[in-house]
Structures are given as structure tokens and as C-alpha cells.
Structure 1
């Protein structure tokens, strides 16, 4: 984890490679070794620790495992030493702040970003390449057009999850080589707040000039642009074309033919919460 955090900070331009190396050196010098703690707590003698270290250099095995194999420590004692070691160890982030290499706010922002990325990767692992492409395309457009990060949170249960949303816009992407057979249906569900914010960000509509029809046009254009990303992505295959997005009052009107192929994923953004629906009836 330390090298992963350090690499992330370097990639974001918040830390130099030399600063990271200095922090890692400090961490290695200040964090107690398991053998040193075993001597301090009277669990092993200096000679026993030296013998274990000699074996460790030869077979590249963990100190605690060697001590247990030779009946010098039991599992509870090793865990006790590990807990003490953990409590005394300086975390990389704390060292970076203490040395003045980064600010606390920069560290917190980076850790939160890494956590969001890990959550997204875990979620996306459950989808195929085309479905991942659809979600990633919407994320890109939220960041670029709405100036707001879009974070997918969890898979939702249909149809109950739709009770929170007043609007549902759907676009169908078809495979032209299969007599216009549907390849993917992609929908966005949102409430009044998210719809208004999308219209404001996407079309530059002031709140006092808000118009529902214009807002729905903005939502449709967002889906049309997302479809463009999906169609142009190499992982989805050639000969795909979009059918213009339409507003749907009942999702069953669109998804009745393949309910088992439907995925619903909730997302959060700075301009509101929403729901993405994806189905691939041709798969």
C-alpha cells in the first residue's frame, strides 16, 4: 500500500520521487522490527533473534513463521508482536505530512480518490466490456460536460429503485448487420433536482429559466453523446448505430423483452444522484 499511495501522489504531481524515497527510508529506519520487539518483551533472547535472522536471509521467510516452526513463539505471541509493531509503525502519509512534503488535505483527497477508484473497479468487475464502456462513457461526460465527477456506488434492485426518480430517458443502440437487432439499451433515471442541474450545466440554463422540455432535451443529448462513445469503442464491435433517445414513463415499455438482462447501477455526483440502466438483449 505505501508504494501504491506514493505512486498515486507522484502521478498527481503532489510528490517527487526523491521525496517519496526519503519518506520510505524514514519509515524503514523508525518502524520496529519484530525481533527487536520480541527481545523488548522478553519473548526471545538476542541469540534466538540472530539465529532466526540468519535463517530468514537464507530462505526468505517471515520472522514470525520461522519462530513458530522452531517452537520459539506460538501463534498468539506472534500476533501480539505484530499488533505492537502496527501500533508503533509510522504510516507513510504521516511521514509525508511531518516532513512537509504534502499537506493533510492533499493526502485526504488522494486517499479518498483511491478508495473511490477501488470501489468502482470492484463494481465494474461484475460487468462485461460493453457495459463497462457505457458506464465509463457516462463518467467521462459528467466530468467534461457537467463539470462534476460521477461515482457509481452499487447495483440496485428493480423495479423498486425507480420509485425515487421522476424521469427516465432511454437510448437504444442497434446492430445494423442483424436487421437493426438491439445491441444495448441505455437509460438514465433522475429526479427533478438532477434533471434541472443537468440542464443548467449542459445547456447553460439559469434556474429561473428552467424548462422541463429543454431539460429532457439535455438529458437526451447526454445519452446520444454517450452512445457515440460506445459505438466508437473497439470493444463493442462494428456496425452499431443509435436510435434517438426517448422519454419513458414506465421502464417495462422498454425492457419488457429482456428483464433478466437488465442491470441497474446507482451513481452519485455533485449535481445529484441518479440511476443508470443497461441491458444487452442480443447477448
Structure 2
């Protein structure tokens, strides 16, 4: 089934529920548990260790359905449509010989493609639900996104307002690209935005400011929903949510749960964990 996936970094469940953003909530919305094994370990300024969701890790968990440990143990994904090539690629000395021939200049990189062998649409370093898609469209992939969210060096004249304005320009480009491709031929459409993460880190102490930007994302969701066919599924998911920054009067930090919503009734496990989202999306994509 054709699926539109809106990945919103730091979309806060409680904030959405309390202020009733209808297009973010959709028909169903859930608070999602992030298990301890999916957390990363950090140290505060005093050297004390603490655990928190780390954005790149959590998006990998969402897209693979695996905890970080299981992800590291997983076999590399199949890259080619031809099963024989995938089998040969799984043999380490065959890969070594091919790499050596390329390094010596005996063969050119990309030889298999030039011979007419077809790759799968997406070849990630690990198996994800993206590889189920035959005609994916991706506007800003969370798996390859830069971790840094400040676009230029900080200095005395670089204020939080300027940081947000810079990120808002990126969001406007994401919207423009989305609508330029939405009417095309696709089976999985993925959009990722960091706007609310940036706003949350800087302004979580100022709910009216936060609400302003949540309304922008809610309006974007509304416009997408209005242009999707009634049989298409829209999933909105976050990697984590926000809470007040511990020990500070301003700012926000990552909290230990996430968010997901659906524009149609979907059966989900209880309690819903971050590793379950992969299975849900796979089941949606497999529907006729």
C-alpha cells in the first residue's frame, strides 16, 4: 500500500495531546516506549554518566526494527536483484578480489551495473523498510542526515532566533520539494524535518513559541493529508520527544519516549515500543 512517512524529529506526544493538533494526531496517535538497550550513554559536565535517546541511533532502530546490538550483528543487506550476485557478494574473498581488481585499474568501478545487472532501489548499510519500496521518494533521509543542527558557527551575534530562522528556511525547502514530487509515481514517500528539535532545544521554556512552530508542522501535515488518496496510509513518527532541560531555566532535552500517529486505524502492540514501528510499517507496505 502506498505510504507517506513524515519523520519529525522531537515531536512531543504530550504537547500534541494537550493542544490538540488534529493533523499531527490523525485518527490514532501513541506514546512510544524507548527501551534502555536503545539508549546511548553520555557524560554531563561533572563527568556523571546518564542515558538518553541519540537521534542517529534511534532513527536506525525505527528503520531497521533492531536494537543497536542486533544491528551490529546483522548481515549486510542484499544489494542486487540477481540472487547469484548477492550470494557471490556474501563471500569475503570474492569481494576482496573484485576490490583488488578495481584498485589495480584492471576493471572500473560500476562494472556490474554497466553489464546490465540491476541494483535494488536503495542500498543502505543495513536492512531497512526502505528496501521494500520499488519507487521510493525521499526528501531528507534521517539515516543520512547531518547530526549538527546549527548551520553556521556560533558567535556573540548568533542568537537563538537566528538559528530557528535558518532551520525554518530548510523546512520551507522541504515543503516545496515534497509538493513538487507528491503527485508523482511512488510507493513510499519519506520526509524528514528537524525544525521542532531545534526549536525544542532552544525554546522549550516558552510554550507559545513552541506552539507557533508545531502549528506550522501541523499545517504541513494537513496539506499532505488533503492531497493523498483516501486509500493511502500516512504515518507520522518521531525519534524522541522533549522535556525541560534539567537544572536550567531555559531550553529542552531529549526525553525517553517517542511519538507515532496514523491516518487510519492500525492494530498496534501494547505497550508500543520503538522497535515495533518497523514491523508496523512493513505490514502496511505489504498490503495490496
In our comparison, the structure showing a higher alpha carbon Rg is 1
Structure with the bigger RCO (C-alpha within 8 Å, sep 6+) is 2
- Output the TM-score relative to the length of structure 1: 0.26
Higher helix proportion (structure 1 or 2): 1
